[in-house]
């Protein structure tokens, strides 16, 4: 059996889908290496726009094919060209029996190719403000059509499964949900030495309030900053104010995008420049130590298809505050503290509660570590094998 995989997002390793793509492929390769003596080996073709990261070592039943579009600009025109036209033609030419799309996109395959698509979310369908020009609307229309045409859909949460059923009228028996997991670097607790080096690199002291995971308006970093400012303001005349640590925010700043929060501007407007520190983009290898060194992590997103930063923090035993909407309670269950994403006052109150209650922090830390162990790439890969073998 020949299986094609859209591994395009390997070139965007720091994105959420990029992390999922790389983690899945590493686990798939490991499984294939363990079963290399099987008689009926599967053959895999990885379709890429750029070469794989240098640490990838492909076994003999894997090959990679780099398809380079003539149009070099990395925008929606290129995406549509690559996903809807260039890639399907090559998959057909290569005689793939099964094809896996590791994210929702406009790929439609004809003939006898079994198409499995991993759908992370359908956020543009739920929040039309994401479709603020004709190209984005066209891309989303093509993507929804491809989702409906795929033979089998994998989702990363029950929330996304419900969204597909409710908004795209996908039959429930066409969908299979299995939770994804974190990068392998989170599987071990960050050592004291790793934490020391990370703190030195970013000029931090242990015990800060950590936030980030993206500057999209949907991620609600504005709510975090305003709630933090409220926390400082309401307690400025109390001794408690001396114990409030800095707010540290990681993630690429996107001040010129209409759907992103200009976080630096907001901090200046609220006179919080001395209390808030921006780290910018942080390499994946530094994040476990930064989570580990935080007093707690706050992520009151308005909507998530999964919520990877929550699981990353839990994996390191960092207490988490998150929102009680979308898929976030699926990830955190009873291991995190919840708030309403739209209620800045409540976010501030929950922050104070975690800040002042060491027993609560210890409880959330322990529960979070135990909960995180239940998420596994092994389980996800086994589900993938089960789907490709089912007629």
What is the model's pLDDT at position 234?
84
Residue 148 CB partners (closer than 8 Å, separation 6+) = 168, 170
| Long-range CB contacts for residues 200-206, cutoff 8 Å, separation at least 24 | 201/286, 202/248, 202/279, 202/286, 202/290, 204/246, 204/248, 204/277, 204/290, 204/293, 205/245, 205/246, 206/293
Fold of the domain built from segment(s) 184-372: Rossmann fold (3.40.50)
Q: How far is CA 331 from CA 64, 72, 134, 306, 327, in A?
A: 34, 38, 35, 7, 7
Rg (CA), the chain: 22
Q: Spell out the per-residue pLDDT of the chain, length 391, in tens.
A: 999 999 999 998 888 899 999 999 999 999 988 876 565 679 999 999 999 988 888 999 999 999 987 777 778 888 999 999 999 999 999 999 999 999 999 999 987 899 999 999 999 999 988 898 899 999 999 999 999 999 999 999 999 999 999 999 999 999 999 999 999 999 899 999 999 999 999 999 999 999 999 999 999 999 999 999 999 988 776 655 567 899 999 999 887 778 899 999 999 999 999 999 999 999 999 999 999 999 999 999 999 999 999 999 999 999 999 999 999 999 999 999 999 999 999 999 999 999 999 999 999 999 999 999 999 999 999 999 999 888 6
What is the model's pLDDT at position 346?
98
63 exposed, middle or buried (CB, 10 Å; 0-12, 13-18, 19+)? Answer: exposed
β partners of residue 210: 248, 297
Q: What are phi and psi of 118, to 5 degrees?
A: -90, 115
Fold agreement (2-181+376-389, 184-372):
yes
What's the order of all strands across the beta sheet hosting 320-323?
276-280, 247-250, 209-212, 296-299, 320-323, 337-339
- The answer for 344, left when phi > 0, alpha when psi is -120 to 50, beta otherwise, is alpha
334 exposed, middle or buried (CB, 10 Å; 0-12, 13-18, 19+)? Answer: exposed
List the chain domain ranges.
Answer: 2-181+376-389, 184-372
The answer to whether residues 288 and 183 touch, using CB atoms and an 8 Å cutoff, is no
Exposure letters 177-207 (e unless 16+ CB within 10 A, then b): bbbbbbbebbeeebeeebbeebbeebebeee
β partners of residue 287: none
Strand pairing category for 43-48 and 62-66: parallel
pTM summary value: 0.93
CATH architecture of 2-181+376-389: 3-Layer(aba) Sandwich (3.40)
| Long-range CB contacts for residues 13-22, cutoff 8 Å, separation at least 24 | 13/53, 13/284, 14/281, 14/283, 14/284, 16/120, 16/308, 17/102, 17/103, 17/120, 19/183, 19/284, 19/308, 20/102, 20/103, 20/118, 20/120, 20/156, 20/180, 21/102, 21/103, 22/53, 22/183
């Amino acid at each position: 059996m020949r299986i094609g995989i859209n591994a395009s997002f390997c070139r965007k390793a720091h994105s959420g889908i990029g992390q999922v793509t790389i983690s899945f492929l590493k686990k798939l390769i490991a499984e294939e290496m363990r079963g290399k003596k099987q008689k009926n080996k599967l053959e895999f073709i990885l379709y890429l726009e750029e070469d794989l990261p240098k640490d990838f070592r492909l076994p003999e039943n894997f090959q990679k094919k780099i398809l380079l579009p003539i149009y070099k600009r990395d925008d929606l025109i290129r995406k549509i060209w690559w996903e809807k036209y260039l890639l399907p033609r090559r998959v057909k030419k290569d005689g793939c029996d099964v094809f896996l799309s590791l994210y929702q996109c406009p790929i439609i395959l004809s003939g006898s190719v079994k198409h499995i698509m991993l759908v992370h979310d359908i956020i543009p369908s739920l929040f039309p403000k994401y479709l603020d020009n004709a190209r984005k609307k066209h891309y989303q229309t093509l993507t929804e059509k491809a989702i409906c045409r795929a033979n089998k859909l994998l989702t990363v949460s029950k929330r996304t499964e419900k969204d597909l059923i409710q908004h795209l009228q996908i039959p429930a028996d066409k969908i299979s949900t299995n939770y994804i997991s974190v990068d392998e670097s989170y599987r071990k607790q960050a050592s004291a030495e790793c934490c020391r080096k990370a703190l030195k690199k970013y000029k931090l002291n242990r015990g800060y309030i950590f936030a980030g995971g993206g500057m999209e308006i949907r991620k609600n970093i504005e709510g975090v900053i305003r709630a933090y400012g409220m926390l400082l303001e309401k307690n400025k005349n109390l001794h408690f104010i001396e114990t409030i640590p800095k707010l540290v925010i990681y993630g690429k700043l996107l001040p010129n995008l209409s759907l992103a929060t200009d976080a630096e501007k907001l901090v200046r407007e609220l006179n919080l420049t001395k209390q808030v520190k921006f780290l910018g983009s942080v390499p994946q290898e530094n994040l476990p130590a930064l989570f580990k060194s935080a007093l707690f992590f706050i992520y009151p997103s308005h909507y998530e298809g999964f919520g990877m930063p929550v699981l990353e923090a839990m994996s390191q035993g960092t207490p988490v505050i998150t929102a009680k909407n979308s898929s976030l309670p699926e990830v955190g269950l009873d291991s995190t503290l919840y708030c309403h994403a739209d209620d800045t006052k409540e976010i501030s109150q929950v922050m104070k509660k975690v800040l002042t209650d060491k027993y609560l922090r210890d409880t959330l830390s322990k529960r979070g570590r135990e909960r995180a162990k239940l998420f596994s790439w092994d389980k996800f890969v086994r589900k993938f094998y089960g789907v490709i073998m089912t007629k």
